[in-house]
Amino acid sequence: MSRRRQADSAAVPGRFIPLTGLLASTSVSLIGTRVTLVALPWFVLVTSGCAARTGLVAFCELLPFVLGKALSGPLIDRLGPRAFSVCSDAGSAVLVGTVPLLHHMDKLSYGALLVLVAAIGLARSGGDTAKRTLMPEIAARAGLPLGRAVGLHDTFDRIAATAGSAVAGGLITATGPMVGLVVDAASFAVAAALTLTTAHRQTRTAERGGYLAQLREGVTCLSQDRLLRSIVLIVAVTNLLDTMPGALLIPVWAKNSGAGPMAIGLVGTTLGGVAILGAACATLWAHRLPQRTTLLWAFSIAGAPRFLILALDVPLWCVFCVYAVSGFAKGFVNPILNAAILERTPPHLLGRVGALISAVADAGLPWGGMLAGLGISVLGLTPTLLVAAGAYAATTAVAGASRGWRQFTRDRTRLTEKLNADTLS
């Protein structure tokens, strides 16, 4: 056996430990987060009976979460994604655990809950971005193509999200919302321990300038790359549109069509379940497929048809079939997009650029339900569904026709060299 093969064989043991640890850490924390997303609103609703107070709790968590994502990038790059991820999960464990502790001591006022919820949103904001920033190095250590490693990450994300919703419903029904929060706090602690013990310490490059200068460097990198700008555009708009069905359009459709509340859960489960299969297939094949063409087809199938089928008077099985096909296509989207972002971003800017993209992508999430409600009130359900379908198709077409969308194959090295030259000048 040659020395090279011996070195390769020696490198095999343990090479998947960092990847396995990251997937486990992400899954555990996401399941716990899903429990909190159900437990906190339910706790406020059953104790106060006020829908407005419940909505304010969600808003107080979401606003710091989105703002924190945008501002966390320089800290991720300064501390390193491993250290930042551990701090984020450990801080979240303490803050989430404080809620049931204060409730047990009978000292949890509504004002204190709002402050804690805002702090929880801020603590969680950069954790997911930091974990994703670890992917290029972890994929290289495992000897996997980056697209395959990112596909694995997205597959486990979808599995954990689906399982987390089921766990949340059963756990809170059986034990109450405070026990659910204790479980979530424990999940964050476990996630921090997994990342700390399995991920390798990164070698950080020396950062020049202060926080604002580093934040501007991330903004500059994002604004100068046409493909990254196109990704931000399409993801921001489609994320906004994707919140509309679950927030209001599907419940109103189920009521008007006579399908009933059972159909709401089945439609969502069909979309999410088949998306897991799509993400798994993307893990195996997406890095071998033409990225631009595959992504455009995935957006086209995953988007507008879901709105159009609800506007038609068709049997329920037709709706499930369309959602199944759309879910499979939807599973291909994130692995391709996230791999493109990681490949095109200079390594020392991964935290900043990833955080900015994630923040912009999530910025429209709070408004999806409001837009759906406004559309139904002014236009009615069917016209709102048609407008949303048209907006989805138009966004996909504009992104696909843009010059930036044609740059999936540009060499990242050229971008890095250009950015470094610009920085030195």
Q: What is the CATH number of domain 216-424?
A: 1.20.1250.20
Mean pLDDT of 150-157: 83
**Higher pLDDT residue, 37 or 318?**
318
Kindly list the domain boundaries of the chain, sorted by start residue. Answer: 12-204, 216-424
Q: Residue 364 pLDDT > 80, yes or no?
A: no
For residues 245, 248, 254 and 257, what is the CA-based torsion angle, rounded to 10 degrees?
-100
What is the pTM (predicted TM-score) of this model? 0.73
Query: Can you identify the CATH homologous superfamily of domain 12-204?
Result: MFS general substrate transporter like domains (1.20.1250.20)
Q: Tell me: the pLDDT tens digits for 23-60?
A: 888 888 888 877 777 778 778 877 777 766 776 777 78
Distance CA 186, CA 312 (A): 46
Phi, psi of 327 (to 5 degrees): -65, -40
Mean pLDDT of 59-80: 84
Q: Tell me: the pLDDT tens digits for 176-214?
A: 788 888 988 999 999 999 988 887 765 555 556 688 888
Distance CA 239, CA 303 (A): 10
Query: Same fold for the domain at 12-204 and the one at 216-424?
Result: yes
Identify whether the C-beta of residue 83 lies closer than 8 Å to the C-beta of residue 196.
Answer: no
Q: Tell me: the pLDDT tens digits for 293-309?
A: 888 899 999 999 999 99
Task: State the SS3 of 170-199.
Answer: HHHHHHCHHHHHHHHHHHHHHHHHHHHHHC
For residues 69, 366, 396 and 131, what is the CA-based torsion angle, rounded to 10 degrees?
30
Write out the two tokens for 276.
């897991």
Query: Interior CA angle at 363 toward 294 and 374, to 5°?
Result: 95
Question: Where are the strands (E) in 80-143, listed by range?
Answer: none
